[in-house]
Structure 1
Amino acid sequence: MELRQLRCFVVVAEERGFGRAAERLNIVQSAVSQQIRVLERGLGVVLFDRSSRRVGLTAAGERLLPEARAVLAAADRAREVAAGIRAGTEGVLRLGTVQVPGDRIYRALTAFAALAPRLRVRLTKLPPAERLAAVRAGGLDAVLVRALPPGRAADLDTVPVWTDPLYAALPAAHPLADEPQLRLEQLAALPLRLAPHEHNPPFHALITHALRAAGAEPPPAPPFTSLQATLAEIGVGPPSWTVFYEVSGLPPAPGVVFRKLTGLTVTTSLAFPSGPPSPAVRHLLRAFGEGTTEQTQTVPHPARAR
């Protein structure tokens, strides 16, 4: 059974004649008759009563007519959906996410829904390296990644969507705790708790490159594990410090103070396959531009990461 056979069936039924149906379909009458014969053989029933001068439906034809119309309507709807997917107004956009301060993502998704109300967003949380691998492999359409340095996304385009300050957490009894803000070089002698490179390569690279640029080489300390556990060890253990970005407010930590690091920020970017962004990703870029806060730094065109 083919759609063209069903269409011929419906048109012949509506026009009550093969000749008028052929005119409406803009094909020859013999082709219409052939399509109907093939359909009848395939279904094993006779659809039209050809005994009179006027073609009429058999009982089987009357029963099958609404089903044929439903199939054709579904096919037309499928074509409309496919056209919407090509235009970026229908379908599913698969987005790899990060945890961010406040309701930035929710505001961006609200703006996205207003731009493309029939396009759904499916959020996926993965570690940074897996997130990038997924978008490269086609499993995700776009991903949010923090601290993505040049050279780490050679086959992706990236657009910064917001920038956040970085904070140092250090013992409240340390002399540097009296400073309102800190520079990296001031912390050069204090052991640094930093997560291993493999746990978050982009952020690890951001901090180590910034320390190198500042001429600071803090002694190593036990690695950063979780924020809560690391802050507890800083508060009661030997003097050390760590660096982090705010996700859900600065946590309470007895014996620890938080100081903003001067001149050091972390940027969250939207990464997607290199080349012109798809219509859906263009909607997403616009939504992040409209839905983020004053901390957001939007870029009008994607920048190829080298």
Structure 2
Amino acid sequence: MQVFLAVAQTGSVSAAARRLHLATSRISERVRELESELGVSLLDRSTRPATLTAAGEALLPRARAIVAEFELVETMFRTARTPPVRVGMRSLPTEFRESLVEHTIRPAIGRSALSLRPLDSHQQLESLRSRDLELGLVWTELREDGELEQLPLLEERFLVAVPDTPRFHRLERVGPEDLVGLRLATNIDPWTFPDVLHPYLAMVPLVDRINAAVEDGLAMLLSDGTHCSFLPAAWHDHSHFSAPHGERVLLRPLQDPQPAIVTYLTWRRDRREEAPIRRVVDRAHRQFPRPVGR
């Protein structure tokens, strides 16, 4: 009945196969089996898209009721023994994170519980290797890694926040050497930043870590004129640099070629065919033929 509904709703065996993560031959086989059991033809296959016959139209509301009732029963007796799908999540733009979770991950894992784990890239990679995560969203690109696989999802450009002084007013772009003498303000371990930022980090060895729970903590620290910080350029909400602190902070692009920071969906190679992981990865491959640019 689920297969019949998918074909009826999409008008296509191939589209139904993609929706249900089954082979097209299996979809066709199931529909033929149902037609054989009922002794009627349910689909007019001479049309594109396929349309329902009179018998198919009569079956449609009953099929919906049967599937809905089955799902209700399944929900009633589902136990907590089903392990959740654990996904590591680094800091991401809010709208991208919400879209990724709601349109890519949740539809793919179906009725499995989803557990999002806020971890930096290094912690995620360790947890993936130890099987404490099913999937991760990391900044670290893995080259020729025999254990983990990746798919790039998001490409971001970064700005640097610097003191509003004549020294930085003269610069249209900021290079690593321009940061000498400043301290780095950040609420994460700076060495979990992608490798492309490491030439900049090498010039600011003194770091002041900010408690992320302190509202406007970054703005307050930057306003003293001795700190810098790295911010994603596409995160439009830089209102925390407005008055009374904003007049002492400049946002400048990094030196050309501007480093592109990529977020990768990451998983263990030997777990690729596990049902929740396979469905998320397959769906992500379809939705992200190339990384989204920000």
Place the TM-score, normalised by the shorter chain, in its bin.
0.5 to 0.7
Secondary structure of residue in 2 paired with 1:252: helix
Which amino acid in the other structure matches residue 218 of structure 1? M
Secondary structure of residue in 1 paired with 2:217: helix
Q: In the alignment, what sits opposite 1:164?
A: 156
- Counterpart check, 1:245 vs 2:236: no
Q: In the alignment, what sits opposite 1:281?
A: 277
Q: In the alignment, what sits opposite 2:264?
A: 269
Q: Which has the larger radius of gyration?
A: 1
Distance 1:144 1:183 in 2: 28
* 1:284 CA displacement: 1.7
Q: 1:293 to 1:106 in 2, by over 3 A?
A: farther
Which amino acid in the other structure matches residue 101 of structure 1? P
**Alpha-carbon deviations, 1:154-191, whole Å to 9, x = none?**
632222111111110011224323545x1424625452
- Counterpart check, 1:225 vs 2:214: no
Which amino acid in the other structure matches residue 238 of structure 2? L
Distance 1:192 1:152 in 2: 35
- Counterpart check, 1:202 vs 2:195: no
- Counterpart check, 1:235 vs 2:223: yes
Q: In the alignment, what sits opposite 2:51?
A: none
* 1:277 CA displacement: 1.7
* 1:125 CA displacement: 1.9
Distance 1:141 1:93 in 2: 6
Q: 1:136 to 1:156 in 2, by over 3 A?
A: same
Alignment of 1:128-147 (within 5 A): 128-146=121-139
Q: 1:285 to 1:178 in 2, by over 3 A?
A: farther
Q: 1:187 to 1:160 in 2, by over 3 A?
A: same
8 Å CA contact 2:120, 2:138 repeated in 1:
no
Give the % identical residues.
12
8 Å CA contact 1:104, 1:291 repeated in 2:
no
Which amino acid in the other structure matches residue 264 of structure 1? P
Distance 2:228 2:108 in 1: 44
Choose from 164, 182, 186 the match for 1:191. 182
8 Å CA contact 1:107, 1:292 repeated in 2:
no
Q: In the alignment, what sits opposite 1:122?
A: 115
* 1:256 CA displacement: 0.7
Which amino acid in the other structure matches residue 102 of structure 1? T
8 Å CA contact 2:185, 2:229 repeated in 1:
yes
Structure 1 portions without partners, runs of 5+: 1-76, 82-89, 298-306
TM-score (norm: length of structure 1): 0.53
Distance 1:154 1:231 in 2: 42
Q: 1:126 to 1:152 in 2, by over 3 A?
A: farther
Q: In the alignment, what sits opposite 1:46?
A: none
8 Å CA contact 2:153, 2:290 repeated in 1:
no
8 Å CA contact 1:101, 1:249 repeated in 2:
no
* 1:128 CA displacement: 3.3
Distance 2:103 2:117 in 1: 19
Give the root-mean-square deviation of aligned CA atoms: 3.8
Q: In the alignment, what sits opposite 1:102?
A: 94
Q: 1:256 to 1:293 in 2, by over 3 A?
A: farther
* 1:264 CA displacement: 1.3
Distance 1:291 1:107 in 2: 11
Secondary structure of residue in 2 paired with 1:103: helix
| Higher RCO, Cα 8 Å, sep 6+ | 1
Distance 1:290 1:189 in 2: 44
Secondary structure of residue in 1 paired with 2:154: strand
- Count of matched residue pairs: 201
